[in-house]
Amino acid sequence: MNDESSTEVVRALTIAGFDPSGGAGVLADARTFAAFGLQTSAAITSLTLQNPERVFGALHQTAEAVRGQIDPLVKSQLFACTKTGMLPTREVVIEVARLFRETDLPRPVVDPVIMSSSGQRLMDADALSVLLDELMPLARLITPNIPEAEALTGTTINSEADMRRAAEILRDRGARAVLIKGGHLLGGDAGGTPAVPVEEAIDVLDDERTVTVFREPRVVGAELHGSGCMLSAAIAAGLGKGRLMKEAVNEAKSFVLEAIRGSVRLD
């Protein structure tokens, strides 16, 4: 993805958790930014205790520690783009929102990491309302998956129409743009039809009331730890390089889809 001929250093900042297995969090963000030709700086919000299959716990940073990591960076560097990932506590969310209000950091791509795929909660319940009220209005884009969008909106999402409605609710709450990621979308009906993954992978982008639906055939057997981190970082990178929102999302989806296809086991 690094097709730029300029030698100018373009910097990206990620504010997220540290996954020791390397699949998600700031390490995934750094690899993604590098693939797009950006240099990464990172602030750690939590140290997760995990392997690629399961999260066993987390050691959260204080709000002061997060601020202490970022303050020296913004005093000496200019960033083309920013993204946030795991923001585990109410205090950390408040401090991160304050940083974006008080500094020249560009509007972030906010990936609202609430729960791990193995069921470990990664964000305190009382941090959700603060994210909605304080951070989301400052974001350039928020990128929840289906379970995250349900938690943020209090709605149930079973269809493309539900995804559109959830995006509209979040935009009405102050988001400038919302990308509802449909990888967890299940088919089924109220009559008892079993819920199974739909054949298409559907993502719904609502960018200041302009709605774009991205459709791709679902990749059967694909398991890619950290794909959500990669997608939000890739979108941030595209925006930082001057892409329009729709272009940045489309390019990021292609990048992640290539990685997902490479993760499919054939045995």
CATH number for the domain spanning 149: value is 3.40.1190.20
Residue 198 lies in a domain: yes
The residue-averaged pLDDT of 80-109 equals 97
Residue 128 belongs to domain spanning: 11-261
CB 85 within 8 A of CB 17: yes
Q: What integer pLDDT is reported at residue 192 of this predicted model? A: 39
Binning pLDDT at 50, 70 and 90, where does residue 220 land?
A: low
Determine which of 53-57, 104-108, 153-157 has the lowest per-residue pLDDT on average: 53-57
pLDDT of residue 189 exceeding 60, the answer is no
* Residue 19 dihedral angles phi and psi, to the nearest 5°: -100, 110
Number of domains composing the chain:
1
Instruction: Count CB neighbours of 164 within 10 A.
Output: 17
Residue 266 inside a domain? The answer is no
4 occurs within a structural domain: no
Let me know: does 141 contact 235? Beta carbons within 8 Å.
yes
CA 39 from centre of chain: 19
pLDDT at res. 186: 61
Distance CA 42, CA 50 (A): 20
Quote the mean pLDDT of the chain.
89
| Model pLDDT, residue 48 | 94
Domain assignment present for 6: no
CA atoms within 13 A on the CB side of 208: 5
Over residues 7-31, mean pLDDT: 92
Is residue 160 within 8 A of residue 146, CB to CB? The reply is: no
pLDDT band at 30 (very low <50, low <70, confident <90, very high): very high
Establish if 2 belongs to a structural domain. no
User: Is residue 49 pLDDT above 80, yes or no?
Assistant: yes
In angstroms, the CA 166 to CA 146 distance is 9
Task: With respect to residue 228, please indicate whether it lies within any of the assigned structural domains.
Answer: yes
What pLDDT, on a 0 to 100 scale, did the predictor assign at position 194?
39
Whole-number Å distance between alpha carbons of 215 and 2: 25
| Spatial contact of 237 and 32, defined as CB atoms under 8 Å apart | yes
Residue 194 lies in a domain: yes
Minimal CA–CA distance to 115: which of 162, 156, 151?
A: 151
The pTM for the full model equals: 0.90
Strands (E), 139-233: 141-142, 177-181, 186-187, 196-197, 200-207, 210-217
The pLDDT assigned to 184 comes to 63
Look at residue 1 and tell me if it is in a domain: no
Collapsing DSSP to helix, strand or coil, 159 comes out as coil
Distance, CA of 120 to CA of 58 (rounded, Å): 9
For residue 2, the model assigns a pLDDT of: 56
Res 196 pLDDT > 60: no
Which three-class secondary structure state does DSSP give residue 26? Answer: helix
Mean pLDDT of 185-210: 67
- Whole-number pLDDT of residue 191: 40
